[in-house]
Structure 1
């Protein structure tokens, strides 16, 4: 069940609450065990939801989950204030440093990363055209809620707080959370960057990872030296259900503390690469080959293997360097695509764009298929390409400037025509391009 907190001290919250009640069929109930100001009195229920109203601002209400009937997730329907124009946004709560706006010093609330990711999709679906959708770093109270929670906000000024279409959009997005789990298998925390968090929003939108607490640069400034407050760093992981962190900017000291606590700092590239890949398989491949940070990339076969641990067996093959370089000289992008399609993982260089080194394949036939397809690629450039059992033989025919000079051809436009296969006439004699070509043979071992 999802608990919804509406604050009478927040006009936008009341506005969202009105649309929540109008967008679904609710039953009215009475709670005489609590004061009306603290969620008692009249409250409302519908399938999967319970809504209660409070006099205080949300950020000043601690342990608010106690007012509800065993919720799984709690949502604070709230305004967003700032110079950000029309915006629908969401974030988690707590304080990495001193508590200036509710909550306790250096205390973080429990997050609901999976529900948050679902909310962003719902925002995308329901937001009026002129509204942006975003997410923010962790900030302000409460620090103790009692269940996984988040603020769901309508911003950013009076015009938007009173906008019925925007309030309806927020209400519908909240109702779309019906039945959602607060957590998923893959969750991480974020450190660094600005108050609004495009890097972490990309991760949520474009990978199978969700993101819990995010400490922006200003959050880290209020925290102070990371080594002096490892308990707060630990809270960020524990209350996000996370074992991994993505850090933005210079966070060397922080990374050392994270490592000491037993968690792992990874890059956005790593998060993207392992999306859809078993983490246990990814760890084994990084151990057997190289790390994602040093150029390891996962091929299409990785997702297939991940879905069936019984098929995790693989063999390592080393690509023939000269042959691979020749194929990349024809079309390096095509080489990447061929290798990615047939492998579980493969090594790269030049920022992950150039295939090199070794690869993990499910079976020898996959490696042979890669060689066959790269042979076809070489046929675009070379006069003849022969596949033998252990080697590739390539015959190259190219323009020979020295031969051209022996026919009296001077450097200039005539050279260009002959090199492109066009005959030229010199001193009344026609010189066909075949007369000024040289044939070379290259042999590339592939075993």
Structure 2
């Protein structure tokens, strides 16, 4: 069940609450077990949503989940204050250092990365003209909530807090979460959740990840948060404890960093978590994490050049590694590197690359039942653009070409220069009154590739 917290101490929250109540046919009851100021009084319910109103400001309310009837997710409808004009935003709560605005020092509310990803998309769908949609780093309280939670906010000043269109958009986005789980599905003993480390308060890099991949982001330690952590933590052990709490509260086994932070990377890895690159996040989108782990062990890590082919998404069968000759891959790449890449991507589960993923080198991972001839035949077609013939025997490809041999021309005394170039291009030249045919300096070359 989705629980919604509305605060009468917050103008935007009050207006969002009004729109929430207008968008559903609510069942109402009076809860006399709690004071009206603490979520008692009139309670609004549907099958999957419960709305309660409080007098205190959100960040001062502790253990708010206890007021609701067994919620799975809590959303605080709130205002956003800043110099960011028209903005709809969402963020998790907690403190990497001193708790200046609610909650406890170095503590975090349980994040809801899956629902957070969903609400960013919903805010984008419902945003009024002129409003931007963003996400923020982790900041302020409360830290003791009781269930996964986040703030959904209208900003950034009084004109927006009073804007009915903005309140309506936030209300609709919140209600779209009625059947959304707080977390991404579990796979391979983990989830596609990331702890964000570094960057600015409004976290554009992590927002791109949420919008453009199937990974979600839990708590985010912006640059200023890391400075606050460094000022507050008395030791590396205390710093590491905060990082581990942030990872646990994000239900994350992975961290994504903005910039180079070797000390923090070492700290997170020493705690047993993995620091990944944005390349890893993008390349593994839609690929089962169990398959990712298996192929990283068998071939190489994604950050060292493993890439996934068109067959990878959803693949759960047996696979085999085709270790084609390096010379074959190199020669096909020399003819048409883009065609090589497209051919391998279309037929493979994964393949190895070098130079930051730009140069395909192999090996190639294919389904176990893949036919070698079907894999190699498109490569032969590419080779035939360069060679005069390509023959395929039982275990070998033989490629032949007749080409200009510069050593023969030099031996015959042909001076290097324009005429040398014409001969290389297959044109006849005249030297000392003699017509020289290019065929005199051509030699058959044979390339053999053992399969």
Task: Give the structure-1-normalised TM-score.
Answer: 0.89
Cα 1:168/1:304, change in 2 over 3 Å:
closer
Question: How many angstroms apart in 2 are the aligned matches of 1:397 and 1:157?
Answer: 76
Question: How many angstroms apart in 1 are the aligned matches of 2:35 and 2:426?
Answer: 92
Matched, 1:239 2:215: no
1:106 is matched with: 106
Q: Tell me the alpha carbon deviations over residues 155-214 of structure 1, each in whole angstroms, 9 at most, x when there is no partner.
A: 122232222222111111111111111112222212122212222222222222222111
CA contact (8 A) 2:401 2:445 kept: yes
Q: Tell me the alpha carbon deviations over residues 315-335 of structure 1, each in whole angstroms, 9 at most, x when there is no partner.
A: 323221111111111221221
1:266 is matched with: 276
Question: How many angstroms apart in 1 are the aligned matches of 2:433 and 2:23?
Answer: 89
Question: How many angstroms apart in 2 are the aligned matches of 1:271 and 1:410?
Answer: 52
Cα 1:422/1:152, change in 2 over 3 Å:
farther
Q: Tell me the alpha carbon deviations over residues 346-375 of structure 1, each in whole angstroms, 9 at most, x when there is no partner.
A: 211011121114233223644432321111
1:407 CA displacement: 12
Question: How many angstroms apart in 2 are the aligned matches of 1:100 and 1:365?
Answer: 60
From 329, 344, 353, the equivalent of 2:358 is 353
Task: Give the structure-2-normalised TM-score.
Answer: 0.89
Question: How many angstroms apart in 2 are the aligned matches of 1:55 and 1:125?
Answer: 30
Question: How many angstroms apart in 2 are the aligned matches of 1:52 and 1:26?
Answer: 12
Matched, 1:446 2:442: no
Question: How many angstroms apart in 1 are the aligned matches of 2:182 and 2:88?
Answer: 20
2:289 is matched with: 279
CA contact (8 A) 2:198 2:222 kept: yes
Size of the alignment, in residue pairs? 440
Question: How many angstroms apart in 2 are the aligned matches of 1:375 and 1:173?
Answer: 53
From 207, 212, 215, the equivalent of 2:221 is 215
Question: How many angstroms apart in 1 are the aligned matches of 2:298 and 2:103?
Answer: 47
Unmatched segments (≥5 aa) in structure 2: none
Matched, 1:330 2:340: no
Bigger drift between 154-163 and 397-406 goes to: 397-406
Aligned-CA RMSD value? 2.8
Within-5 A mapping of 1:177-192:
177-184=177-184, 185=186, 186=191, 187-192=193-198
Cα 1:245/1:418, change in 2 over 3 Å:
same
Question: How many angstroms apart in 2 are the aligned matches of 1:153 and 1:417?
Answer: 71
Q: Tell me the alpha carbon deviations over residues 380-436 of structure 1, each in whole angstroms, 9 at most, x when there is no partner.
A: 233332233333222334456776998999944x7777766778899999988x657
1:62 CA displacement: 1.1
1:437 CA displacement: 6.9
CA contact (8 A) 1:31 1:42 kept: yes
Cα 1:375/1:65, change in 2 over 3 Å:
same
Question: How many angstroms apart in 2 are the aligned matches of 1:390 and 1:54?
Answer: 77
Q: Tell me the alpha carbon deviations over residues 3-23 of structure 1, each in whole angstroms, 9 at most, x when there is no partner.
A: 111111211111211111112
Question: How many angstroms apart in 2 are the aligned matches of 1:247 and 1:61?
Answer: 31
CA contact (8 A) 2:109 2:149 kept: yes
Matched, 1:88 2:98: no
Bigger drift between 151-160 and 401-410 goes to: 401-410
CA contact (8 A) 2:77 2:152 kept: yes
CA contact (8 A) 2:5 2:76 kept: yes
Q: Tell me the alpha carbon deviations over residues 108-137 of structure 1, each in whole angstroms, 9 at most, x when there is no partner.
A: 001111111111121121112322211111
2:309 is matched with: 299
Q: What SS does the aligned partner of 2:124 have?
A: helix
